[in-house]
Amino acid sequence: MKAAIYSRKSKFTGKGESVENQIELCKSYAKNNGYDDIYIYEDEGFSGGNINRPEFKSMMKDAAAKKFDAIICYRLDRISRNVSDFSTLIDELKVLGIDFISIREQFDTSSPMGTAMMFISSVFAQLERETIAERIKDNMYELAKTGRWLGGTPPFGFSSEPIYYLDSNSKQKKMMKLSPINEEISLVKLFFEQYLTLGSLGKLQKYLIQNDIKTKRNSPWDIKALQLLLRNPVYVKSSELVISYLSIKGATVFGDPNGNGILSYNKKDSKDKYKDISEWILSVSKHEGVIDDNLWIKVQRQLDKNKDLAPRLVNGSEYGVFNSVLHCAKCGGKMIQKQGHVSRKTGEILRYYICINKINPSDNTCDSKNIRLDKLEKSVMKELFKATDNKGSLIKAIEEYKKSLESEAVDKSSIKSYEKQIYQKELQVKNLIDKLSLNPNIYDLLSSRIEELNKEIKELKFKKFELENTNNNLKAAIKEINASTSMLLNFKKLWENADYSMKKLLINSFVDYISYNSDTQEVVIKPFCTNKKKGAL
C-alpha cells in the first residue's frame, strides 16, 4: 500500500516536535502497518489556522489523482487547527476513498473509532461556526442601526456601492450603500402593483411565467421568493405610517423616516428559522425607497389576509421531523411532509415527503416519487443510532478533542503583559497631557506623540481583547461540548422518549442535510461538515 506523510510546523524553532521528527515517527508507523511506498510533504513556517500551504495543496492534488491510499500525520493539528477545515478535508478524503491516520490520537478513519470521531467533529464544526458568528455579532448589530449596508447579496433591484466620508478625526472612511438597478426596480414596482390587482402569490407567479419574467439567474420566480420580496421593507419609502405599522407588528425601527428604504437584520436564528419580529434590527437606510408607503402597507395586509386563509401543505404539528434538512437528490429541492390517503389496512392517515418542485407550477422538471414518511424516518434513524452506538469511542474522541482545545488556551502571563504595556503607555499620555496643561505652547511638539501613543494603546487593547476572547470562546466551546456529549451518548434513548419538538432539535443539532433518490431509493445522511453515510430503503 502507498501512504502520504504530511508534516507542518508554524515556526523555524527548536521547540516542539520538529518536522524531521514528525516524519520519522510517521515513517515508523507506516512501516509497521503495511505501507511500503511513501510520499512526503513538508510545510515549515506555515500556520495551522488555514489550509493555504504549498505542500498541503500539492498533497491534495495528488490525493485527487489517487497516488496513495492513506494520509498519515503525527497529530491532528498538523493538518489544521480549524475544525471545519479539518472536517471538510475528511469529507473529501472519504469521497476519494483515502484513509486519514493521526498517530498521536490513534485516529484512523478506517476504524470504528474514526467513524465515531467523524460524528463528533460534525458537532464541533458547527459549534466553531456559531462561535465565530457570535464574536462579531454585537459589532455588526450596532453598525446595522446606522442604516449602512453590511454586505451580502443585495436584494433584487439593487447593487452595493461604496460611499466615502470623513470621520470625527477628519480621516476618510468607506461605507456601503444600496444603489438601484433601474430595470429591476421597474419589475419590483410591477410585482407590487400586480399582486394587489391579482390578489394572490400563485396568480402573480403564473402572470410572471406567462410574461417570461425571470430572476437574475434566468429561472422562474417561485412563490417563496416573491413573498420575501413583497415583505421586504428595503423597497418602501419610510414614513410615519410605515413606522407605525411596523411598531404595531412588534418591531423597533432605528432612524427617522425620510423616504429612504428600511434595512432589516437579525431576522433568522442559527437554524435558519425566522425570529419574532421584535428581535429584528430595522433601520432607515441610506438609499431611497421605491414603493409608496400606502401601496407597501396594502400589500402587507393582503399577504396577512391570504396567509390566514391559505391551507397548510404540512398538516399537523407532530409530523415531518426532517422538513428542514431533507432534499430531493434528483433536483436538489427541499422535500416537505404532506398528508396522503387513509390506509385500508390500519385506518391511519399515511404521510409522505414530497419534493417541493413538484408542487411549484414554475418548475415541472422534477419527477421524483414521493416517499412514505415512516419508511424514510426508520431508515435514517437506523443509521444515526449506529453512528452513536459506540459509547466508548465517543467518550474517548470527546476527551481527546477537549484536551486539544485546552492546549490552545492563552497563558494568563501574556494577557498581563499587554495590561502592563497599556498601563505604561497610558501613563506616558497622562504625563504629556500634564505638560501641555502647564505649557500649551508645546502642543505642536507633543500632539503627534500623544496621537501615536493612543494608537499604540488601541492596538494593544485589541490584542488583549483577542487573547481574552480566545480563552472565553474556549471555555464556552468546552461547555457546549459537555452539553452535546450528553445528547450524543444518550441519543437513542432521548429519541425514543422525545416528543416532536425534541426530535426536531436532535436532528437539527447533528444533521446538515439528508437527500433521497426515488429512483435508487438511496438515502444519504450528512452530519455537519463530515463524511456521508449511505443507505437504501
pLDDT reading at 161 higher than 50: yes
pLDDT band at 345 (very low <50, low <70, confident <90, very high): confident
State mean pLDDT over 528-535: 42
- Residue (of 210, 236, 211, 206) closest to 223 by Cα position: 206
* DSSP letters for 324-347: TTEEETTT--BEEEEEEEE-TTT-
User: What's the chain's average pLDDT?
Assistant: 79
Q: Are 434 and 366 in contact (CB under 8 A)?
A: no
pLDDT reading at 237 higher than 60: yes
**Predicted pLDDT at 5:** 93
State mean pLDDT over 480-486: 69
Q: Which of 410-424, 442-456, 498-512 has the highest mean pLDDT?
A: 410-424
125 vs 106: which has the higher pLDDT: 106
pLDDT (tens digit, 9 = 90+) per residue, 49-103? Answer: 667 888 999 999 999 999 999 999 887 777 776 655 776 787 788 889 898 888 8
Task: Write out the three cell numbers for 1.
Answer: 500500500
pLDDT (tens digit, 9 = 90+) per residue, 424-454? Answer: 998 998 888 888 777 777 777 788 888 888 8
Residues with Cβ within 8 Å of residue 33, at least 6 apart in sequence: none
pLDDT reading at 11 higher than 80: no
Find the radius of gyration of the CA atoms of the chain: 29
User: How far is 128 from 84, CA to CA, in rounded Å?
Assistant: 7
- Which helix (H) or strand (E) is 306 found in, with range? helix 293-309
**Predicted pLDDT at 344:** 79
pLDDT reading at 42 higher than 60: yes
Q: Are 281 and 264 in contact (CB under 8 A)?
A: yes
pLDDT reading at 39 higher than 90: yes
pLDDT (tens digit, 9 = 90+) per residue, 192-221? Answer: 999 999 988 888 988 888 888 988 888 888
pLDDT reading at 4 higher than 90: yes
- Helix ranges (H only) for 2-46 are 19-32
17 vs 473: which has the higher pLDDT: 473
pLDDT reading at 251 higher than 90: no
State mean pLDDT over 99-108: 74
Q: Are 369 and 347 in contact (CB under 8 A)?
A: no
137 vs 252: which has the higher pLDDT: 252
State mean pLDDT over 19-47: 84
pLDDT band at 380 (very low <50, low <70, confident <90, very high): confident
Task: Write out the three cell numbers for 517.
Answer: 433518490
pLDDT band at 190 (very low <50, low <70, confident <90, very high): very high
**Predicted pLDDT at 26:** 87
State mean pLDDT over 413-425: 90
383 vs 189: which has the higher pLDDT: 189
Q: How many separate helices (H) and strands (E) can be counted in the chain?
A: 17, 17
